Structure formats: C-alpha cells, structure tokens
Copies of this chain bind each other. A is one copy, B any other.
Amino acid sequence: MNILVTNDDGINSRGIYDLVVALREIGDVIVIAPLGEQSAVGHALTVSLPLRVTEFHKNGQFFGFAVSGTPADCVKLALRTFLEERGLARPDIVVSGINHGRNTAVNIIYSGTVSAATEATVLDVPAIAVSLTSYHPDADFGAAAEFMKRFTPHVARTGLPRGTLLNVNVPAVPAKQIRGVAYTRQGASYWEDEFEKRVDPQERPYYWLKGQYVLEDSAEDIDDIAIREQMISITPIHYDLTNYQFLKELRENWPDGREAFFE
C-alpha cells in the first residue's frame, strides 16, 4: 500500500512523526508537508507565489519533502506533478495529521488538516484527516497512531465514495481507555471568540484573536459528544456545500424572472 502523508502543523511536528512511524509498519510512506506551521489556513492555495520543495531530514535520516506552502498546496503539488516527476508511486490513500488539537464542528472549515484531505478527494484519492483532541504540548499521540495503523488499511480496502473523506478525532486518553468508534455527524459546537485590543511599543493598536470553545451537548450523534464519551469520532465529510432543502424552497417560492431584479 502506498500512503501519502501530510499535515498542517508542519513537517517537524510530533504528530506527523508518530503517524509516519506507525504507517511505515504497514505500507510505503511518502511525506510531503508544509515547512512551517499552517494552522487555521483553511483550504488556501498559493497562486501568487511559487512553491519551493526541500528535502527534510530527521534524526539523521531522510524523512520527507518540505513545501513552502499550505496543506492543500502539498497535496495538489504531490498528486499533480511532484510524485510523477520523481518517479514515485501515486498513493492508494492520503492521510493528513496527526493534528495537535481537535477538528470538530465549525473547526472543520478552518482546518488545514481537513483541507489537505479534501484536496485529495478533489483529485480522486481516498483520504483520512486525523486529529488528537488536545492542545497540551506534551500530548501523547500514541493511541491515535496505533488506531491509524489499523484503520488506514481498512479504509483503503473498503474504499470511500468519490469526493468523501473521513474526519477522525481521537480522544486524548491512553489507548486502553478508548471505548470504541462512533460514526458521527459534524456538530454545532462553536467559538465564543473576540479580539483583544493591545498597543504595540510604537503606541499603535493591534487586535489578536482569542476564544473559548463552547461544546454543543444537545445531540448524541455528533463529533464532540463521541469524544467526551472517550470514543473515536469518525465523520464522513464532502465538499458539496449545497443546502438542498433550502434549494427546494428557493425554486418554489423565490422570484426568478429578470423583471424582478432589473429595470
């Protein structure tokens, strides 16, 4: 099995290292990941600047390719040009992570980890995004890496619908405390955020984002509640953003003649 691994915390982060070590036990892994941290970049693509690729070493050994771009850049560059140019195999599956922090509910739309997996599905390669639900600097990626070692081959074998990826969130507890897997929908937890206004040494004001994550707990079948119950949350997501229910309403009741909107 050929596996392409990327992330948004950067190629030198702990999460991607533990993931790669685990996946190398079950397949041929190629790493192509951002040189620096790219959290909350969403599905950004670099179009006004060129991309650079450098070889990245870790513990004295070649680890992977570092890209001067976003997670989506890494996947697009790899699948469209770079792998073929280097004579490397097209992957059977793309795995993005392990992200340091949860990617549930509204976080999904800001997430570089998820967007890398989305880009893979745009290019018709099955993909998994995986996150650990802890921001603690010493967080243990062990259980998440162990899970991915078994779950990745299952996904590659079973397949996914075209354009759909699996968004995996692993609770930050030791492996033996994980109770199982829950297939969930994207929840409605949200950020109660604001911008703190400060003044710089030149006496000029600036704003800095800060916030509290507010857990939705009114539904049992959502991502964040599964995690609270020490289950691994797996949400199938796709990039057809159409609200079909409201589309029906629009077609039935909203004006569509040009005379409604032009003189």
| A residues at B contact (CB < 8 Å) | 37, 39-48, 50-53, 72-73, 76-77, 80-82, 85, 106, 108-110, 115, 118, 122, 143, 146-147, 150-151, 154, 158, 160-161, 164, 175-176, 178-186, 190, 193-195, 197-198, 204-209, 232, 234-247, 250-251, 254-258, 260-262
Residues of B within 8 A of A77 (CB): 195, 207
**A151 and B76 in contact, given A195-B82, A250-B183 (Cβ under 8 angstroms):** no
State in angstroms the CA–CA spacing of A82 and B175 once bound together.
44
State in angstroms the CA–CA spacing of A85 and B205 once bound together.
13
- Is the beta-carbon distance between A122 and B106 smaller than 8 angstroms? yes
Residues of B within 8 A of A39 (CB): 47-48
A-B residue pairs, 6 tightest by C-beta: A42-B43, A42-B42, A50-B206, A237-B241, A183-B250, A81-B195
**A238 and B243 in contact, given A258-B181, A262-B146 (Cβ under 8 angstroms):** yes
State in angstroms the CA–CA spacing of A197 and B237 once bound together.
33
Which B-chain residue is minimally distant from A185 (CB atoms)?
B242
- Is the beta-carbon distance between A41 and B44 smaller than 8 angstroms? yes
Q: List 14 extra interface pairs beyond A52-B206, A164-B246, CB under 8 A.
A: A40-B46, A42-B42, A42-B43, A46-B209, A51-B208, A76-B209, A109-B118, A109-B241, A161-B246, A175-B262, A178-B258, A178-B262, A181-B256, A183-B254
- Is the beta-carbon distance between A239 and B42 smaller than 8 angstroms? no
**A247 and B241 in contact, given A85-B197, A180-B256 (Cβ under 8 angstroms):** no
Give which listed residue, B109, B182, B198, contacts A43 with CB less than 8 A.
B109
- Is the beta-carbon distance between A179 and B239 smaller than 8 angstroms? no
Which B-chain residue is minimally distant from A36 (CB atoms)?
B48
- Is the beta-carbon distance between B81 and A194 smaller than 8 angstroms? yes
- Is the beta-carbon distance between A42 and B115 smaller than 8 angstroms? yes
Give which listed residue, B41, B193, B205, B237, contacts A242 with CB less than 8 A.
B237
State in angstroms the CA–CA spacing of A24 and B20 once bound together.
55
Residues of B within 8 A of A194 (CB): 80-81
